[in-house]
Structures are given as structure tokens and as C-alpha cells.
Amino acid sequence: MYSKWWSVLLGAVAMLVATACGGGPDIAELTYFCDTAPPAPHGGERCGEGDPNLPPEPTFPTEICQTLVAEKSSPDENNIDTARLQAALTACRGGTGAVKLVANGQNNAFVSGHLALDSVILWIDAGVTLYMSRNAEFFQKTGSCGIIGINDSGACNDFISVSGTNPGIVGDGAIDGQGDQPLVGHDYSWWQLSNALRIIDGSIGNPTMINLLTRTTGFLIYRINLYNSAKFHVKITSSPTDGTCDWRGEGFTVWGINILTPSRWFNSQGLFLTPHSARNTDGVDPGTTSLATCGVIACNTISTSDDQIAIKGGHWVSDLTIAHNHFGTGHGMSIGSETYGRHTTPDGLTHRGVEKVDIYDLTIDADSRAVGFESSSADSNGIRIKSDSSRGGVVNDITYTNVCMRDMSNAILVSTAYNPLFAGTSYPEFGTFTFKDVRHVTCMGTTQPVVTLEGFNSLRPAGPIKLDNVVIDNIGPQAVAAEYANIELGPGKVNFTPTGHSVSLTNAITEDTKPIPCVFPKLPTPDMPAGWLR
């Protein structure tokens, strides 16, 4: 971590350069907020404890169905564990006990091809790592899996497919997707396969690390470490059995997991890795495959190269609580881009898109680690709601409370033109969004954060968008864009005024509020090579 005086010096130099170049609009002087909290003391209050909006923290299983002992100390591709892992998962299906993976002295590694986890809990013990194999043939689906230059999003099977009733993945161990490592028989990695299609915005068919299948109910993922997925880390499709939400967490629970991708600075070939290397590695995506309702995503840390969380409304997503999470680099706390979903519940009501999402106590910290070469503004997004006319639909009743962001390019981005190249008649319908007690601060950033608030057109304006005690440090009028939106300010102060084409602005600021204090926890990062400075 740079010292505070060094951050201030960098900012001063940047301001001198900007002044010397001239020719542009005046830029407000940058202020810096570089404090990072130490780790919580051992034995202190547990995350989520006492929060009346959350169920109790999950616990590890009390019964073990089978215990599997590691037979190697590294992911040896000549000694694959797929058969015995799958045999145990199948034998314990629908029972009360978990399949537990444990170490044996220096032997602490399992390596596997595709696994099917149906109505059973997989427990990966502390110190144990389950590696996804680097052999693309173990995941072959269409014949294109692992083949460079093929634009085939369905080419590969998942690493772990999850289905059934009350399945889970728990433990203090790790799952490593080895997305950065060369594939067996090739000199390129899963990530290099994906990046080869970046220029055409192609969708590679790399294996998803954990993918929930349709009609999964009561999924739990708890305290596991997820590293270096080849593509998405966790795609969630899970809802209560009877379709009704009696308490959030009944549909699915994501609690206390750590996603760090990349988890190392170099791969085995000596290639330097950055978050930009790991294309399309979303953290947690509810609603990607089918319905995701009545869920809790709490007390997690996520640093990756794409959306830390992306709520996908291509089916229907509702009744989510997203609380006490800490994000590092990534493309944001996102909703969309798919928002066109429609679902009729057993009571005959039709639901659409994404609705009833409560997000609070969130930090998003781009200062936590380097983004690296070829990075773009998308690598440092804060709050993002995105759609376009090819995939639009309803997003409504969304609340953000007590959110702190640092060094974002886009602090708040509400966009109905996610991909201007795509067109159709599925128009975005953005309803009520509430932003309360939100603050963006600057530490290492030398550019102004941007706020964008836009609806689709005059017939489909966004809003009301409610801003209550929202303070974006270092923002200027040229960094706020708004159109086709109904915006309400207050009762707490807002330090910018959104104006633009077809914007209806109601100023109801009545309280002399102060910006919320922001404390950014120290997040997990790759171990720094000897002699490196941050």
C-alpha cells in the first residue's frame, strides 16, 4: 500500500500536468481518501450478526456421507480424480451427509474434469484445493471446446453442474479453475482463448466453474475460495420449492465466499497476469440460466475481471438481499444486461425482469490492486444498471444503501444503451431506483468519476431515480450525464445536479446531511513477488 503522502504527491503531479497542458475545462482539485482498515480482530462480531434482514449464518454439515483423501500435492494431469469424486457424489445424492475432501500430509490436491452435483453437499476442507483439469477433452460438448478462434458459447460443459434440492459447496478450501494455465497439448490458456475473441466481442465456450441447472432449489455456497475460473465463477438458478418467498435465503444463499481472479501474478509460462487477462470471469450471477428468487448474497469478497455481481433478468429475478460485501476490481455491482424475463407464478401473477432487490453495506475498491495494461474504464465500475433494445425489460424497486466506492471510472451508471450495436423491440423499462447514503472517494485516481442516469426515450423514461445523501467526491458538471429520466433529490444532500434532455428534476433537499464515512477493508490480493512495490 502506498503511504498517504505518496498518494497526495501523485495527485499533485497529475494536477500540475493537467494545468500545464491547458485547453480543457477547469477540473476540481482532487482530494484523497487512502485509509484502509486492518483485518477485523479475531473473535470480533461476525459479519451479518444481528442483521434483522438476514437469516442466521449457515453452518457446515453435521454428517459426512463419504470422506475422500487427497493423493497428490499438485494438479497432476496424469492422476485425475474425476471417477472417484463423481462416484462419491452420486452415492451420497439425496442423503443427509456431505462428501468431504481432506488432505493427507503434503497431499492436498484433487484434479477433475466435469462433475455433476445433484442434491448433495461438497465440502472442501481447509488447505485442500480442487483443481479444474486443463484437458479440454474432459469438457467437450460441441467439438469446439478448447479450440482457438471459435465463437461458440456452448462449446464446453461446466466444471461443476449443480441441480436438485438443497445442494451445496462449502468449506474453507479452494476451487481453482486454472484459467490462466496452458491447456494440455497446447501453448495457450482458457483466458487466451477468450481474449482472442475480444476484438469481435465473441463469446468463448470455456467451462463455467459452478453452474446451477433449471429447477434447483435451496442452493448454498459457503466460505469457499474460488480462483481463476475459465469463465463465469458462479451462475445461480435457484428458488424456493413452492415458488413463494417466506424468508430471503430460502431460494439460495451465497455467504462468506472469496473470489480472487487472477490469484497469482504469473502463470507457469511466466506470463504476467492482470484482471484484464481474465475476460468474462463474472463473480456471482443470479438468474443467468433460469429463475433466481428469494436469495441472500452476504459477507463475500470479490475481485475479478468482469461483473463482481451481475443480476441477469433474462427470466425473472426477485426478492434478493445483497449485504455486507466487499468488492475489489471488476465491472461493478450490476443488473443486466438481460432484463427481458417474464414468468407466471402458480398464483397466476406475471412477473418481469428484475424486481425487489435490496443492496446495502457495500464497498467497491479499485485501489485494492492493479488493473494492468490494456485496461478500460469498464474495469473500474461501481453501481451499474445496464440494458438495451435487444434485451430490455423491467428493472424496478431497486435500493442501494450505505455504499462506499473508491477510484471508480463510472461511479453510478444507469444505461439503456449497453451495446449500441444491438437493436430490437425489447425496450428497457427502468422504474424506481433509490440511492441513499452513497459516497465515492478518490485515492489513486486522477480522473473524475462519472455519473450517468438515462432512460430509453420520452415514452419510457427511467424513474423515479431517488438520490438521498449521495456525494461523489471530485465530480464536476461535465462528468454528469442524464436524459429521459425523472430524478428526485433529497431529503439528504446531493453534490451534483443531473440535467439533460427530457429530464424532470425535483429538488426536495431539506436536510444538512454529511457524507457517510467510508472505511475500505484490506482485500485478498495475490502474493507480491519479492522486491515489488505496489
* CA–CA dist 317, 336 (Å, integer): 11
Beta bridge partners of 113: none
Q: In this structure, are residues 111 and 76 in contact, taking their beta carbons and an 8 Å threshold?
A: yes
Q: In this structure, are residues 451 and 498 in contact, taking their beta carbons and an 8 Å threshold?
A: yes
Q: In this structure, are residues 242 and 215 in contact, taking their beta carbons and an 8 Å threshold?
A: no
Concatenated DSSP letters of 221-261 = EES-EEE--SS-SEEE----TTS--SSTTSSEEEES-EEES
Q: Which residue out of 81, 158, 180, 306 is catalytically annotated?
A: 306
| Burial state string for 314-325 with b = 16 or more CB within 10 A and e = fewer than 16 | bbbbbbbbbbbb
How does DSSP classify residue 282? -
Count of other CB atoms within 10 angstroms of residue 417: 15
Q: Which residue out of 331, 343, 351, 440 is catalytically annotated?
A: 331
Distance of CA 170 to the CA centre of its chain: 19
Considering only CA atoms, which of 140, 167, 300, 305 is closest in space to residue 237?
167
Concatenated DSSP letters of 131-189 = EEPS-GGGGBSSS-TT-TT---TTSB--SEEEESBS-EEESSSEEE--TTSBPTTSS-B
Helix (DSSP H) and strand (DSSP E) numbers for the chain: 3, 36
Considering only CA atoms, which of 132, 67, 74 is closest in space to residue 102?
67
Q: In this structure, are residues 122 and 162 in contact, taking their beta carbons and an 8 Å threshold?
A: no
- Residue indicated by cell numbers 475500505: 520
Q: Largest Cα–Cα distance in the chain?
A: 71
Beta bridge partners of 225: 174, 258
Considering only CA atoms, which of 360, 358, 384, 381 is closest in space to residue 371?
381
Active-site residue, 319 included: no
Concatenated DSSP letters of 451-498 = EEEE-SBTTB-EEEEEEEEEEETT--GGGEEEESEEEEE-SS-BSS--
* CA–CA dist 283, 305 (Å, integer): 9
C-alpha dihedral (74, 77, 82, 84), degrees to nearest 10: -60
Active-site residue, 125 included: no
Considering only CA atoms, which of 336, 278, 332, 276 is closest in space to residue 311?
336
- Residue indicated by cell numbers 449485504: 323
Rg for the chain (alpha carbons), in Å? 23
* CA–CA dist 187, 246 (Å, integer): 51
How does DSSP classify residue 8? H
Residues annotated catalytic, as ranges: 306, 331
